[in-house]
Amino acid sequence: MKVVSAAEMRELDRTAIEDYGIPGVILMENAGFQVVQVILQLLPNIENKSVCIFSGKGNNGGDGFVVARHLYNLKADVKVFLLAKKEEISGDAKTNMSIWENMGQKINVIDQNYPFDDLHTVLAGSDLIIDSIFGTGFRGTPGQPAVGVIELINRSGKPLVAVDIPSGLQADSGLIEGLCIKATRTVTFGLPKLGLVQEPGASYVGKLHVVDISIPAFLYNNETLKRQLLTRDLVCGWFQPRQPASNKGDYGRVLIVAGSRGMTGAACLAAMSAARSGAGLVTLAVPSSVQKLAASKLTEIMTVALPESSGQTIGCGALDQIVALAQRFDVVAIGPGITTHPETVSLIRKILPRLSIPCVLDADGLNCLAGCTEVFKLTTAPLVLTPHPGEMGRLTGNTTAEIQQRRLEITERAAKDWGAVLLLKGAATVIAAPDSKVYINTTGNPGMATGGAGDVLTGIIAGLIAQGLNPFDAAGAGAYLHGLAGDLAVSQKGCRGLLAGDILDFLPDAILKTESN
């Protein structure tokens, strides 16, 4: 499913109205009607139920008037509150406000002099609250009287349906700079907005309903809409059934370059994840002094000893051996547990331009390139970079807080600048390609914030590339399967006790769940 910015959605609305002749008031009517269908799922017996609707001055408020009319016709007890002057309402919103008044219904205008104690009493006696105060054009922080209203609504504890987007949430980023409606359900129109699927906004949405308001469906296939949500149907379509006469050579060869003294676990997790993702053959290359330990932990993985530094990390002397070794493989993953020992840093900076096969670069493989991202542009082999926000900050010169506030923007720009597929880990993982295409992940949970989880993801992506997926789709599918495995694991083990090995153990179940009809 495509996911859009506020501007992209406005353009879709404009096209439907101006190019296809669908009046805006019809789109507004359909939007309000669809909100009512969701309300009836929440409160099937709406007759005589008390419903409070809070509307603003824009089209979002107009949707609220449509909702009010339909609920009134269903014999609900509807109270409408307007956080604007009536004369500020225009266009289709004014049309629907006038219809409501022509029906003999009252509009309670809330300004800074409104008795908020009375509003508290009304909310306490309500069965449902509808938020249609601010729409997708909202930026910044709510002012008065919206701040007081939002605070009272959130404190009421009543079921709350947000129209298109919770008021206070910024549609393009998911940022919340002040108070924001905490919805039970959000009914969004046409396509999900970026802020609804990115944190912190996603945590304010409740259950998300994406509804049709009669915009011609083929408009959503516009190639200018380059961002997509990762869903089961999308990921499933990338997998081909295995043929009966196939053999392990048909499913790719993965080379993992990883590990150091005290960090063989990261290397082993990455190697086993590549195998569990379906790769035919996986080889783990580690510093010579830890090869025996790695081999003792891995029964299905081949191991190779590499020349090492004085710190028992992969040394500069391993350069030619790794380059020669990589020629026998379909993909190489570099980074888990390699440290930033000076020799290792030098190795990583020299090896990337010499690779001829796709490379997944993670963890210390990325840290070794902090301050030296020009190496990405010197590398002709396809790259998949998988930083967490801290690593991304070191690569870009931003703070972790800045990365988290502008996840999508920074990831998209860096992918273009570096000519690499870039996967920024975290809630709603973002995967960006150099050609501006983007995937946003829909799986995963907080229990996956545990050491080694990223190493598992590295192996999965490498394994999928080995099996023939292009690097961008492999990164997207890897993020989806990784998150789904975490979701399956957390359902049995809970968040607090979840380990990276649990994600690995549930990976085959995640693949099976994704592929099964």
What is the tens place of the pLDDT at every residue in 363-405? 999 999 999 999 999 999 999 999 999 999 999 999 999 999 9
pLDDT at 113: 83
Calpha distance 372→382 (Å, rounded) = 18
Tokens at 223, concatenated: 């190639």
Confidence of residue 293 (pLDDT cuts 50, 70, 90): very high
Prediction pTM value: 0.94
pLDDT the model gives residue 517: 63
pLDDT band at 116 (very low <50, low <70, confident <90, very high): confident
Lowest mean pLDDT among 117-121, 250-254, 426-430: 117-121
Q: Name the token pair of 44.
A: 């099937």
Greatest alpha-carbon pair distance for the chain in Å reads 85
C-alpha to C-alpha distance for 193 and 165, rounded to whole angstroms? 8
Task: Output the pLDDT for position 21.
Answer: 97
Give tens-digit pLDDT for 4-43.
999 999 999 999 999 999 999 999 999 999 999 999 999 9
How many Å apart are CA 504 and CA 512, to the nearest integer? Answer: 14
Q: What is the mean pLDDT of residues 295-312?
A: 96
Architecture of domain 232-515: 3-Layer(aba) Sandwich (3.40)
- Residue 179 in contact with residue 150, Cβ under 8 Å? yes
438-440: strand order across its sheet: 227-229, 438-440, 430-432, 421-424, 383-385, 359-361, 331-334, 253-257, 281-287, 302-306
Question: Do the beta carbons of residue 179 and residue 201 sit within 8 Å?
Answer: no
Residue-wise pLDDT tens digits, 64-83: 999 999 999 999 999 999 99
Burial class (CB in 10 A: 0-12, 13-18, 19+), 54: buried
DSSP, collapsed to helix, strand or coil, labels residue 241 as coil
Looking at the chain, the domain(s) classified CATH 3.40.50.10260 span 6-222
Q: Where are the domain boundaries for CATH 3.40.1190.20 in the chain?
A: 232-515
Cis peptide bond prior to 145, omega within 30° of 0: yes
Fold of domain 6-222: Rossmann fold (3.40.50)
